[in-house]
Amino acid sequence: MKGNEISLKSLNESAKFWLDKTLQQLVLQDYGKGTVRNSLQELTLLFKHYNHLLVEDLRQQDIEAYLIFIKTNHQVGRAKDTT
């Protein structure tokens, strides 16, 4: 999803704080580099999508709406079986 409208937005201070906190937890729990990178990338896009909100104010319904948005607008998700 490089270069899309979400990735061009900036992160607010709340998002930066929670990304740092998440990184610390993933490292402490000994997750692999790829898992850490992918998790932080996905959280970054979520936080940028809602850059007008504090992370603390995000609710499950916001996350579900974001997932629907990226699935419908960016065709991400599981591949459809064409057989």
Helix axes 13-28, 33-49, angle to 10 degrees: 160
Using left for φ > 0, alpha for ψ between -120 and 50, and beta otherwise, residue 44 falls in alpha
Mean pLDDT of 7-20: 92
> 83 in a domain, yes or no?
no
Residue 79 forms part of a structural domain: no
46 located within any domain: yes
pLDDT at 1: 45
Enter the pTM of the model: 0.81
- Domains held by the chain: number: 1
Residue 42 has pLDDT above 50, yes or no: yes
Give me the domain span that covers residue 65: 13-74
What pLDDT is recorded for position 81?
A: 54
Residue 30 inside a domain? The answer is yes
